[in-house]
Amino acid sequence: MTGLLDLGPHAGFIFACYAITLATVAGLFAWLAADRKALTAALAKLEADGVRRRSNTPASGERG
């Protein structure tokens, strides 16, 4: 059994793989979160300016 810190002569390659994978996944999550934040802010600004989706207007809302 090999422990976490005893990865033999190729430990650098193993750590590099896990580090790159972690960085890529973290980057994807950061991009998704930033994208959502920007979109939500833009939608909130439009709604604050009085622009509404048709389904959110009172007339169509009554029709369900």
Partner 1 sequence: MDLANPTRFMSFSGRLLPWLGGACALAFAAGLYLTFFVAPDDYQQGATVKIMFLHVPAAWLAMMCYSIMAISALGTLVWKHPLADVSARAAAPIGAAFTFLSLVTGSLWGKPMWGTYWVWDARLTSVLVLFVMYLGLIALWRTMEDPIRAGKAAAVLTLVGAVNLPIIKFSVDWWNTLHQPASVMRLDGPTIHPTILWPLLTMALAFTLLFLVMHLMAMRNEILRRRLRTLQLGAAGTRVAAARPQAAE
Out of 26, 29, 30, 60, the only residue in the binding site for partner 1 (CB under 8 A) is 29
Residue 53 CA, chain-centre distance (Å), reads: 25
59 lies in the binding site for partner 1 (CB under 8 A): no
Out of 49, 58, 63, 64, the only residue in the binding site for partner 1 (CB under 8 A) is 49
Q: Taking the CA of residue 58 as centre, how many other CA atoms within 13 Å lie in the half-sphere pointing to its CB?
A: 0
Give me the phi and psi of 49, to 5 degrees please: -80, 0
* Residue pointed to by tokens 């604050």: 48
Spatial contact of 43 and 37, defined as CB atoms under 8 Å apart? no
30 lies in the binding site for partner 1 (CB under 8 A): no
**Binding stretches for partner 1 (CB under 8 A):** 1-4, 6-11, 13-14, 16-18, 20-21, 24-25, 27-29, 31-32, 35-36, 39-40, 42-43, 46, 49, 51-53, 55
